[in-house]
Amino acid sequence: MINVVIFGPPGSGKGTQGQIIAEKYNLEHVSTGDLLRAAITNNTREGVIAKSYIDKGELVPDETIIDMIDGLLEKLPMDRGVLFDGFPRTVAQAEALAEILKEHGRDLSTMLNLEVEEEELITRLLKRGETSGRSDDNMETIKKRLEVYNSQTLPVMDFYQTKGLYKAVAGMGTVEEIFERIAAVLDSVEAAK
For binding to ligand B4P (CB under 6 A), which residues are involved? 10-16, 32-33, 36, 53-54, 57-60, 65, 86-87, 89, 93, 124-125, 128, 136, 145, 174-175, 178
Between 165 and 190, whose beta carbon lies closer to ligand B4P? 165
* Residue 97 DSSP one-character state: H
Name the minimum Å distance from CB 192 to ligand B4P: 27
Name the minimum Å distance from CB 43 to ligand B4P: 17
Phi-psi region of 180 (alpha: psi -120 to 50; beta: other; left: phi over 0): alpha
| Rounded alpha-carbon distances, angstroms, from residue 52 to 8, 87, 148 | 23, 19, 15
Residue in the shown chain whose Cβ atom is closest to ligand B4P: 33
Other CB atoms within 10 A of residue 184 CB: 12
Residue 108 CB-half CA count within 13 A:
26
Catalytic residue among 14, 37, 124, 181: 14
Residue 134 is among the residues annotated as catalytic for this protein: yes
Residue 37 is among the residues annotated as catalytic for this protein: no
Would you call the peptide bond into 77 cis, given omega within 30 degrees of 0 as the criterion?
no
Between 103 and 117, whose beta carbon lies closer to ligand B4P? 117
Q: Which residues are catalytic?
A: 14, 89, 128, 134, 145
